[in-house]
A and B are shown apart, each in its own frame.
Chain A
Amino acid sequence: GENVEQHPSTLSVQEGDSAVIKCTYSDSASNYFPWYKQELGKRPQLIIDIRSNVGEKKDQRIAVTLNKTAKHFSLHITETQPEDSAVYFCAATSNQAGTALIFGKGTTLSVSS
């Protein structure tokens, strides 16, 4: 089955800096790669996703890149703000009917002002 590795486990940045979180996956059949943000005590919420037919996707201050050959994908947050502080999870799935979305271990991002 799919295995997703995520690095780093913690990341501390100053407000305004950029943050990068990296993930690798094992199953070459995976073709859908979402990123979820989870605030303390809350549910995971989708912030951006990318499919394998696209190499990069951007939404305002966040962007995701995918290298399908190397089986890795990354989340980039620019101009970080204190409200970006949360746990970020990457995930991967082949997205076939009922196939599980497998999560990485998470990255705790702390943005200090």
Chain B
Amino acid sequence: EPEVTQTPSHQVTQMGQEVILRCVPISNHLYFYWYRQILGQKVEFLVSFYNNEISEKSEIFDDQFSVERPDGSNFTLKIRSTKLEDSAMYFCASKGQYTGELFFGEGSRLTVL
């Protein structure tokens, strides 16, 4: 069964460093998303991406964040200068054209020291 894959599974970084989280969505999906989940809290929407541009973004997705689809398969989230409060699990998700279901990856745990 096809699934969303994410790398790395866990990244530890120093405050102020740049981080890139990578995702490979399900191949025939058209809509891509990043969510984050601080430990023990809810799943929070960051950004959605369709047709090579951002469709919607939340207040959390400020100028420190960017997304890119550099080729036909990868979908990346970049955090330019990490802060302590960026520590969370980051989930990538994708959705097909005719279904409402979001398929989530296993997540990338980011720890900012």
Contact = CB atoms under 8 A, between A and B. Distances in A.
- Note whether A and B form a binding pair: yes
Contacts of B102: 34, 46, 101
A100 B104 contact: no
B82 interface: no
A98 B48 contact: yes
Interface stretch (B11-19, B20-28, B39-47, B69-77): B39-47
A45 B104 contact: yes
Contact of A43 (B49, B58, B106): B106
Contacts of A105: 41-42
Contacts of A106: 41-43
Contact of A32 (B45, B50, B100): B100
Contacts of A25: none
Interface stretch (A14-22, A53-61, A62-70, A89-97): A89-97
B48 A100 contact: yes
A43 B33 contact: no
A34 B44 CA distance: 15
A109 to B, nearest CB: 15
Interface residues of A, number: 24
A113 interface: no
A98 B100 contact: no
A95 B101 CA distance: 10
B46 to A, nearest CB: 9
Interface in A8-49: 32, 34, 36, 38, 42-46, 49
Interface of A: 32, 34, 36, 38, 42-46, 49, 51, 89, 93, 95, 97-106
Interface of B: 31, 33, 41-45, 48-50, 55-56, 58, 91, 100-102, 104-107
